[in-house]
Structure 1
Amino acid sequence: MSEVASEALADFLKQRVGDHLRSVLYYDSDGGNVLYLRDDVAEQYDDSEREKVLQDVRLEAFEKPHQEDLYEHGPLNCTVRCFEDAVEMHFAHDETSGTAVALDGEVFAIHNTFIGKCLEAMEE
């Protein structure tokens, strides 16, 4: 996957979730590029903290072949982390490149997702 594909994802998410999109980051072996960063999120993270996030997703991408070998499920398409205030999705394209996306946590409930329904079921 290329940065162009990640830009297409960013455009899709802007249309689909609007103001609930927090950030989209593309990275490869040469570095990283912030494709979208909502203003209030930009204020929360300085350059050093953004670099730590980049390092984290790179490490996770490095593990992609191991994860695919460990589970007999086919290619690993995406990992999702659900926090109270945000949902982090990581699309590792290969061992050295990928796209990291952050959405507001409430997106799962608003868009009636399966994970959102599971979270609601546990609250009852």
Structure 2
Amino acid sequence: MSVTSAEALTEFLQDRVGDHLRSVIYYDESGGDVLYVRDDVVDEYTDDDIEQVVRDVRLEAVEKPHQESLYEHGPLNATIRCFGEAVEMHFPHDETSGTAVALDGEVFAMHNTFIGQCMAAMAD
């Protein structure tokens, strides 16, 4: 995964979810780059906060081979974390690079996703 593919993902998400896209961060061995951040989100995070997020997803990427060895499911393509206010998606390419995306939490409900349906089923 290159920064070019992360930029393509950013464009896709802007077209698909519009204003519900919160942020996109690409990282590799040289550091992290914020490719997109929504205006109201930019004030919520300091540069240190962003560095911590990059550190967190990088640590997760380091675990990619280990995760793949635990399950007979093929390569680990993405992880998703659903919070009350946001959904975090991480697309690790290898042990040193990947893309982290944040979306508004209601995106799952709006797009009628399977995860959103599962969450709704548990709420009933």
TM range (shorter): over 0.9
TM-score by length of 2: 0.99
Give RMSD over aligned pairs: 0.4
Map of 1:54 onto structure 2: 54
Number of residue pairs aligned between Structure 1 and Structure 2:
124
TM-score by length of 1: 0.99
Map of 2:88 onto structure 1: 88
Task: Give the whole-Å Cα distance in 1 for the aligned partners of 2:101 and 2:61.
Answer: 14
Task: Give the whole-Å Cα distance in 1 for the aligned partners of 2:98 and 2:39.
Answer: 23
Cα shift at 1:123 = 1.0
Task: Give the whole-Å Cα distance in 2 for the aligned partners of 1:50 and 1:29.
Answer: 16
Residue 44 of structure 1 aligns to a residue whose secondary structure is: coil
Unaligned ranges ≥5, structure 2? none
Task: Give the whole-Å Cα distance in 2 for the aligned partners of 1:2 and 1:48.
Answer: 24
Unaligned ranges ≥5, structure 1? none
Within 5 Å, give how 1:20-99 maps onto structure 2. 20-99=20-99
Task: Give the whole-Å Cα distance in 1 for the aligned partners of 2:105 and 2:25.
Answer: 18
AA of the residue aligned to 2:100: A
Task: Give the whole-Å Cα distance in 2 for the aligned partners of 1:14 and 1:33.
Answer: 17
Identity %: 71
- For residues 90-123 of structure 1, give each alpha carbon's deviation from its aligned partner in whole angstroms, at most 9, with x where no partner exists: 0000000000000000000000000000011111
